[in-house]
Structure 1
């Protein structure tokens, strides 16, 4: 009889489901006001509330908990304190906590707070943290990735624009699409002409078209920040160079869904000029000296290129050969505001860039640093001159990364594999060993590297002032 009276003296909070005494006007667990009739508690009031009654097996334990909370919530005279007591977890909350702990390891990534509205069985002030799923985990971004880029989302495929169509840049100048030159997954390249131009010289421009929030956003960001024509000209003069191969963007703009950049014609890509042929050592050294000048400039402006390969090197032949390093769609800031970022694997998407030539840091998802660009240039030189790298025929990025790490610790083995029975180039060997010893945040000695390559080029009868030979 006494047990029956005790059970009748309880009801349940409609907000958090806690068991309450019939005399309570406020829930001691969540602090919400308890609706009641004129007499304070009626059978109709209790029956009209949602049924949050727990299984009978949990009733004794819940009763003890409720009793202890009631004791702490009163001042001994039956009146409630104004301050809210500590929040008691509901049975459902405890069960979800146990499930979360069993499914998450100690080194799991930080979880984000759930900002959704609380369910009736949850405290409105303290929400249960559920075990993270791959879809709910935050995407780790590079500390200097381009602002506004959409990470982890598929961009729609690019659709060709019709030849003859006109695009207007941000200055109001109109450009006519003359001819499609190339197309890849991330960009389309056209030959374009200023509307109304008649001479071939006036139509010597190319237009790169990409998704509005795709990798072309990074390229535009780099060009506007670090590749201003006046800055390039000043650097060229200060370092007594006859030429610096930084592309000059003469226009950019937006369509309904695309972003485009316009450049003067820079000749032909090295990939098209090679045509699957090997390059003589003299040509490789010539190209390396020119590209080192570009890397020195962009690194001094807190950027790295992060995707050096033959498709991103353009050459305009002539009396004074011009070598351009283009394709800044993976460019990132390694030293924002003069402070080098810390090495942290997984801070950006791993394996970004051309699989065969990207650095070990890029494979590991670390922000590429200056040594990353110099590693990539070294891989390119070996590939152009010898024809193959130990991982050239492998398509699995993890296997490629493992091989690069192994050979980075054994440069003589890498050189032996690439040159085979042929004599190993002393200049390329010296370059690779020097770069392999660089620390992540260390500043390379660009002048020393270029001097060594230049001396070897001179010994072969070449010079950066002479035309390139293929």
Structure 2
């Protein structure tokens, strides 16, 4: 069956093609969950799959409502599948207990607040209440020219390891990790949450792991550019598969593009490309990054994932250590702030850092950019121009100061 891709945004197959769409309810409609708690609908804020998403509150519903409610016809499958995960693994008490045991004050797993059925016009609907979130990382990725700073990628990796360890500890794997399924908190832009558990799989019911078994009918399930080699072979999702998908995401966020993204409509080509890259991780990284800036932490991370057997429990602490060492390598720490701006600690073309003082104001299109100021200037060298070109050539410079970076193409005196 056809895999998902960024191009078409289609949901994963195995869901019957013909589904009823949820009708739109008017603001003020009250839904009562299984615990007899009443939830009032606000305006519709989105549509996913075959359901609608509304602002929601147990009181009055304003533009700052803290919850959303997802509504689907009761005979649809996607929300039912997602609900099974939330009811088993995402109750606030479970998340809170796990956070306390790990001595952390935030975990990027959405909390389950309630669910139930609603009758209207002779039709029955299923609904679920969850936290409200902000923008997704795919939008941020595209706004950033399809590249994230290295520090940010490593921080996101650390958050994902906590999330995956939690859901793995509760017998589930996610199977569809990607930027569009990672949402920033609505109230705290430094927190990110993994959403969309419609493909979540209970890999170890009652503590008994499922055995490795290839099923041709399930080949290439997931989002094609990120899905695991196991999924390409029709094997049910696993913990090692989640980490493999996470690794592909991090590499894409760092370099902007995975080697097989030019042929996403050919799943066999994508599968074979991933197999070759698994067997030669060095070549994978060399195809994505300039040789002078290979992120050693990604090599070590992918090597750890490669060594896992299908039913192995990952060493999450070791994987965290690899990412933390990556931060140390670039002179950074996890300060718990997610900065999506330009960073000197990237993995792009080679650069030379020069500390300089501007002796006069710089202008661009008649607008003042910067008066006399000490700054670290990073000279970005275009591909094929290394080592530095002849004197007098002025490549693009990035000014990194105590404000958002400004880009310009020429410089005045004082350089």
Give the TM-score of the pair, scaled to structure 1. Answer: 0.63
* Contact 1:347-1:367 at 8 Å conserved across structures: no
Q: Which moved more, 1:267-276 or 1:233-242?
A: 267-276
User: For residues 186 and 416 of structure 1, what CA distance do their matches in structure 2 show?
Assistant: 41
State the partner residue of 1:207.
Answer: 69
| Number of the residue aligned with 1:123 | none
Q: Does 1:410 align with 2:280?
A: yes
Verify: 1:171 aligned to 2:32, yes or no. Answer: no
Distance 1:338-1:224 versus aligned 2 partners, 3 A rule: same
In structure 1, C-alpha distance between the alignment counterparts of 2:261 and 2:48, rounded to whole Å: 21
**CA apart distance, 1:305:** 0.7
CA shift at 1:445, angstroms?
0.6
- Who is 2:46 aligned against? 182
Partner-residue secondary structure (3-state), 1:263: strand
Residue 185 and residue 448 in structure 1: after superposition, are their counterparts in 2 closer, same or farther (change >3 A)? same
3-state DSSP of counterpart to 1:267: strand
- CA positional deviation for 1:240: 1.6
In structure 2, the CA distance between the partners of 1:258 and 1:436, relative to structure 1 (3 Å rule), is farther
| CA deviations over 1:150-206 (Å, ceiling 9, x no partner) | 966334142451442625133344444433333343443332333x516655x2212
| 1:232 maps to 2:95 | yes
Counterpart of 1:436?
306
State which of 325, 343, 352 in structure 1 corresponds to 2:194.
325
Distance 1:399 1:232 in 2: 40
Greater Cα offset, 440-449 or 170-179: 170-179
- Deviations along 1:67-118, whole A, 9 cap, x unmatched? xxxxxxxxxxxxxxxxxxxxxxxxxxxxxxxxxxxxxxxxxxxxxxxxxxxx
Q: Which runs of 5+ in 1 are unaligned?
A: 1-149
Aligned to 1:310: 179
Q: CA RMSD in A?
A: 2.5
TM-score when normalising by structure 2: 0.70
Give yes or no for the alignment of 1:252 onto 2:132.
no
Q: Deviations over 1:212-267 (max 9, x none)?
A: 34122121111111222112111111112221111111121224354222112233
Change (3 A) 1:351 1:208: farther
2:158 to 271, 286, 289: 289
Quote how far apart the aligned CAs of 1:396 are.
Answer: 2.7
Secondary structure of 2:133 counterpart: coil
Between 1 and 2, higher relative CO (CA 8 Å, sep ≥ 6) is seen in 2
What aligned pairs does 1:14-413 form with structure 2 within 5 A after superposition?
153-164=16-27, 166-168=29-31, 169-194=33-58, 196-197=59-60, 201=64, 203-212=65-74, 213-255=76-118, 256-277=123-144, 278-316=147-185, 321-346=190-215, 349-393=218-262, 394-413=264-283
Deviation at 1:301, TM superposition (A): 1.4
Match of 1:448 in 2: 318
The aligned counterpart of 1:457 is 327
User: Do the aligned residues in 2 keep the contact of 1:270 with 1:311 (CA within 8 Å)?
Assistant: yes
1:319–1:467 contact (8 Å) kept in structure 2: no
Which structure shows the higher strand fraction? 2
